[in-house]
Structure 1
């Protein structure tokens, strides 16, 4: 019904097609969601490696692979938003290797989608840690590394807040 109504409105007065993350821009950027997605990609790979041959495990394999691929794509999307909307002008001059790093994250995200290798997923986490460190540095916030408090318990970059 809504589709029909929009078509009628469009015929009367054509509507422009729009889409946005927050192209106002909202000014709220944070790499934390990308980090959680990257860590989950690694965790999914670890879980996949532990599966057996039962029908139940094979069904679980399908779900794990599907979610792993969604989360790898979500990493890429979150990084694209920060890279494209937040890092501009003087920030790009301050971090001249950012374009290469963001591109490497895109490639690592694609590789993580195509693979079930924990090593491939770890590379995504490592690159994202580097991106996260740069992001927080651009805000004047120090960072530290610590193992995340849940599986996969790998080094993760966190902002020193407070």
Structure 2
């Protein structure tokens, strides 16, 4: 790696969803990505082409990671103590959802989706 490349490459990469906070929090983003995972698994199972199946798995894993990201943003940035008071099972719901997304990411079984 050249000096210039090292100098231009950040030593720390930081990513965030608008920690302004922007106030735009919508579970629809997670739902759309989750639905995409389901449809990808359906298409994966209906197709025997090895190249297609390899691409489908890679895309499904990306989409599943986005579901986890969007759920994480909601959990960490949007929900406040008053939400937990109104919905006491909120923590368990999100914990179970993220665990399920991990199953989807690691599986091509439609039952997991």
**TM-score, normalised with respect to structure 2:** 0.87
Unmatched segments (≥5 aa) in structure 1: 11-15, 122-162
- CA–CA distance in 2 between the matches of 1:98 and 1:19? 26
Change (3 A) 1:19 1:44: closer
Q: Tell me the residue number matched to 2:29.
A: 33
Identify which of 33, 57, 63 aligns with 1:71: 63
For residues 1-49 of structure 1, the C-alpha deviation after alignment (integer angstroms, 9 at most, x for no partner) is 4751577xx9xxxxx9754211121111111111111011000110111
Bigger Rg over Cα: 1
Q: How many residues align?
A: 110
Indicate the SS of the match to 1:118.
Answer: coil
| Gap runs ≥5 in structure 2 | none
TM-score for the superposition, normalised by structure 1: 0.62
Aligned position for 1:115: 107
Which structure has the highest strand share of the two? 1
Higher relative contact order, structure no. (Cα contacts within 8 Å, ≥ 6 residues apart): 2
Determine the structure 2 residue equivalent to 1:102: 94
